[in-house]
A and B are shown apart, each in its own frame.
Chain A
């Protein structure tokens, strides 16, 4: 039977991609888009109209509309209250990253879902990238030998809006762009981050939020990694940004540029050069995996614990920059 899905908030732009994926799954008979709710009614109504679905005036109304699961994409600080509402209503939750802006919030989200017998999945779509899956095969097969070091980037542009209001986002570029690559490293290494050092700056936008992050992570298995989480792409950059991972092993090195499957469009009318991506949709893999877990009851592939572990690295990065020295993990509860 098709999994009945409600969408909670479109504050995060990834929601637009997720709803597209839900519609695709609907066409395949695997999901049903029941409706959406948003505390910005104008935005919510507009999206509902665009996707031919119903707009609910409140989150409560959506949760009472006979749905099985929700996709939660509000401002970062609202991940906890919306997840709590959904869990208490018995709905499974796919939550946008970063899972939470504090460790206490993340822990509470995991607990409330457990207590109400619903699954909590963190939206880390990069795990579903065919290039990443292939890279992981190379690591797991041992053809690269023992992994020694990783160099990662997840760079983009300042998205503006609430992303630059720390009271809503929990920070800036570092909270926004640390978690994807951190999650990939944890998934590859099967090891936890035990130390974080970070240089953080605001040299791109000169605002009251960070836009530059250069993190150094050390894992329990002694592998080290750096991660550039900066909003450093210029306005004229031909694409949104990147996710790259270079894995150095005793027997070889593999470099992944996750979104390199593009053709170049030279557009005279808009005086722009853009990279037109033709690689596989990673968001479809994410939403599809969530729907399958809800339908079958099998555990979600990326848990709330995974989401919190990655977010904790961002929290530690801010702490490290404040103290000017490396910070040990886990952070105090």
Chain B
């Protein structure tokens, strides 16, 4: 039975917590959070302990699950590794490549597992699309498009709005798509991007990123924190023998609309896409099973770093107006 502690009680911390409570081979021990009261509140909801310090939590667990803002990852990972704890770390793995390298080195030295939570790999529509591509369903992929986003995200201390912390939608959000693109289509050759990130707008950010892959395929990635119309995801993989298209707007088996109860805001249709196996659950299960078996997980820390590298190249391109070539060389 692996004992688990979670750092950070935001949406992702609570989502991960629910998953651990359903696993036979893991036991959620408790939470810690920079906001002590928040940790206590969530801990009591889950009937587990709230720790006043990270160090105190580390003493009680085998696994640390880090669900905190990006710039805090480095220190938390280094402490966990030196305490010999296995680590699941939210994406993006680090705010800089150097941070990622330090984490990987520390985990290697300590002989612990460090898995970045690139959960998109466990979303059935993305996993299936990859399986189809690898099976040759569209022939050789030539043009790939992804879209992700919705309203500007709000969280504790409005940290998403601080670019130095979050890296904006390119680093914080479409890192999902970068990881999936790499996983499915291979390495990226060069990146060109335009973004609103540096225009000093109030809670609006948006980026359009073009990637040339080493395979020759061209990918277009949209990162949208400027759509008040709700969160949407789509992708399209066009190849020389076919195409796969997915649009979250049209993959909703349930749509409910309720009579306005008089408080206003009623009457809007709300779609749902329930799954028997939640992708976050599958991700956590894979991580825990890997740790238990002493096997490396299918998503390595290097994968996490490579996704950060693509995102940082896109940010650099948007900032400088230049084409950024990956893996050295101009």
Residues of chain A whose beta carbon lies under 8 Å from any beta carbon of chain B: 148-149, 151, 195, 197, 199, 201, 203-206, 211-212, 214, 216, 218, 224-226, 228, 230, 232-234, 236-237, 248, 250, 252-253, 324-326
Contacts and interface: CB of A to CB of B under 8 A. Distances in A.
Given A203-B142, A234-B238, A216 B210 contact: yes
Interface residues of B, number: 35
Interface stretch (B46-54, B104-112, B213-221): B213-221
A199 B243 contact: no
Nearest to A324: B323
B323 A197 contact: yes
B217 A203 contact: yes
Given A149-B196, A197-B323, A250-B204, A226 B220 contact: yes
Q: Could you tell me the dominant secondary structure of chain B's interface residues?
A: strand
Interface string B231-260: 000000011111100000000000000000
Given A204-B239, A248-B206, 7 more contacts: A199-B192, A201-B143, A203-B239, A204-B143, A212-B143, A224-B194, A248-B224
Contacts, number: 101
B271 interface: no
Interface in B156-204: 190, 192, 194, 196, 199, 201, 204
Residue with the greatest number of chain B CB neighbours at <10 A, chosen from A206, A224, A324: A224
A204 B199 CA distance: 37
Nearest to B192: A197
Contacts of B227: 248, 253
Contacts of B229: 253
Nearest to A232: B238
Contacts of A224: 194, 208
A199 B142 contact: no
A199 B208 CA distance: 13
29 contacts: A148-B196, A148-B201, A149-B196, A149-B206, A149-B208, A149-B226, A151-B222, A195-B321, A199-B192, A199-B210, A199-B218, A201-B142, A205-B240, A206-B240, A211-B142, A214-B210, A216-B208, A224-B194, A226-B208, A230-B142, A230-B238, A234-B238, A234-B241, A234-B243, A248-B226, A248-B227, A250-B204, A253-B226, A324-B190
A214 B145 CA distance: 10
Nearest to A225: B208
B212 interface: yes
B242 A234 contact: yes
The 9 closest A-B pairs by CB, nearest first: A203-B142, A224-B194, A232-B238, A226-B208, A199-B218, A234-B243, A232-B143, A253-B227, A248-B226
Nearest to A150: B208
B72 to A, nearest CB: 31
Contact of B210 (A149, A226, A248): A226
Nearest to B240: A204
A209 to B, nearest CB: 14
